[in-house]
A and B are shown apart, each in its own frame.
Chain A
Amino acid sequence: EVQLVESGGGLVQSGGSLRLSCAASGFTFSSYAMSWVRQAPGKGLEWVSSISSGGTTYYADSVKGRFTISRDNSKNTLYLQMNSLRAEDTAVYYCARKSLGSCYSQPDVWGNGTTVTVSS
């Protein structure tokens, strides 16, 4: 069964850091692009970042320079290092698999999300 399980969320003060992890199983992780998508309380979906199977990265302007996406194919794990956190980063963060190794493909499998709360 294809599965994505996020972890690492929690309560952090404004200006602090967190590292989110997404453990993948049931598919050949190294062959797929991956993404982080977030959803603030009561709001819509916001794309955050993507990484291709080859390691090319993309970021939303709202997180560029503060967040870093990475992957460890030997551990089948996706990461999101979040620094200089702001109250507006408060959201549920979803890990999503893209359907191809390219980031220019649709997310087709989603985790259940991990909640990040930034207190001001």
Chain B
Amino acid sequence: DIVMTQSPDFLGVSLGERATINCKSSQSVSYSSNDKNSLAWYQQKPGQPPKLLIYWASTRESGVPDRFSGSGSGTDFTLTISSLQAEDVAVYYCHQYYSSPFTFGPGTKVDIK
């Protein structure tokens, strides 16, 4: 099974500042045939279902603000919020869909400092 880890567990960021969340997989989630990484990022606010932000590690879902970006390859990935807004307070999860079981990271809580 691929184990997903995230750091930090909690991130306090001032409004307008950058937030960076890291995700690491215990095995590569990259397809060598096309260099695609089967890694997605989700945002979950209290009482709401998860919302897809990023897929294939760096492709932004339609309608997601461009302050959200994803990067990385192989086993190491990053979600960056370039300028934190109040509405970005949430828990963020990475998720690998490379192999079953399709595992999630433990989550990173982002709040305003």
A residues in contact (CB < 8 Å) with B: 35, 37, 44-47, 50, 58, 60-61, 94, 98-99, 103-108, 110-113
Contacts and interface: CB of A to CB of B under 8 A. Distances in A.
Contacts of A58: 100-102
B52 A106 contact: yes
Contacts of A44: 91, 93, 104-107
Given A44-B106, A47-B102, A47-B103, A106 B51 contact: no
Contacts of B51: 110
22 contacts: A44-B91, A44-B105, A44-B107, A45-B42, A46-B104, A47-B95, A47-B102, A47-B104, A50-B100, A58-B100, A58-B102, A60-B101, A94-B49, A98-B97, A106-B38, A106-B97, A107-B40, A107-B50, A108-B55, A110-B51, A112-B48, A113-B49
Given A44-B93, A99-B55, A106-B55, A112 B101 contact: no
The prevalent SS among residues of B at the interface is loop
Nearest to B44: A45
Given A47-B102, A106-B55, 6 more contacts: A45-B44, A45-B107, A50-B102, A58-B101, A106-B97, A107-B97
